[in-house]
Structure 1
Amino acid sequence: MTDVTELADRYIEVWNETDGDRRRALIAKTWGEDGAYADPAAVSNGHDGIDKMTAAVHERFPGARFQRTSAVDKHNDRIRFGWELVAADGNTIVAGVDFGTVAADGRLASITGFFGELAEAA
């Protein structure tokens, strides 16, 4: 059985790793070969796509760090957790919720990210 909190924390660690070699090693440990990521700003597939996407975030927001802001919920092969991206000055750049699927080998198969709070019902 996968420790989903450890998996989510390693996923956050991928986002925070600025050294390309260490980041690629973390991606291989955390993501399945065909891992798929989608949020309102990016879509990436496979280890190379995920690596390029995370490197681009470091270029756009130098010194910023991701952190998990909630417990990790799990049912079946699904997980969800809150997160935020915090600038070097301590201000939150963006926050959201990620929903993921965990593959049989315990690595991530997919993550779908949403930014911001849920909209109120009409």
Structure 2
Amino acid sequence: MNDLNALASRYIEMWNEPDAGKRRAIVRELFAPEAEHYTPTREFHGLERMDVRVAEGYEQFVKPGVNIFRPVAGANGHHGAVRFQWEMVEVATGKVTGRGSDFLLMGEDGRILSDHQFVGR
């Protein structure tokens, strides 16, 4: 994707998607087969593990209907790297209940090779 804000939006859509099949399709659209995803305490390697990671995030934060994720405008990048910020928002009030950012390394085909997720600012 040439529009980095569109990439960030699509990435966030993945975490909010209620349909498991659609989530899985988005994972395959965005991530290379050998992709790696890192959080401060965990790591996931490959598409199957990324499916698990996204499903866990959806189940924990979005499915109960309390929160939704949204991208923050201003994604930027260069030389195959992209960074963007996101917020977790309370559905009922619109109050921001969490923040974070992701740093992506992109492959030649435009898919994510490595995703480092940071929680908090």
Give yes or no for TM over 0.5. Answer: yes
Residues 75-84 or 51-60, more deviating: 51-60
Report the Cα distance in structure 1 between the residues aligned to 2:17 and 2:109, rounded to whole angstroms: 23
1:69 to 57, 68, 72: 72
The one-letter code matched in structure 1 to 2:111 is R
The CA distance in 2 between the partners of 1:2 and 1:34, in whole Å, is 22
Mark the runs of 5 or more structure 1 residues left unpaired by the alignment.
118-122
User: Which letter maps to 2:89?
Assistant: V
Q: What's the counterpart of residue 26 of structure 2?
A: 26
Distance 1:87 1:49, change over 3 A: farther
- Count of matched residue pairs: 117
What CA distance in whole angstroms lies between the structure 2 residues aligned with 1:53 and 1:16? 13
Q: Is the CA contact (8 Å cut-off) linking 1:42 and 1:53 kept in structure 2?
A: no
Structure 2: gaps (5+ residues): none
Q: 1:28-67, aligned counterparts within 5 Å?
A: 28-61=28-61, 62-63=64-65, 64-67=67-70
**8 Å CA contact 2:85, 2:100 repeated in 1:** yes
Post-superposition CA distance 1:23-56 (Å, at most 9, x none)? 1111111111111111125322211111111111
Q: Within 2, Cα distance between the matches of 1:116 and 1:78?
A: 20
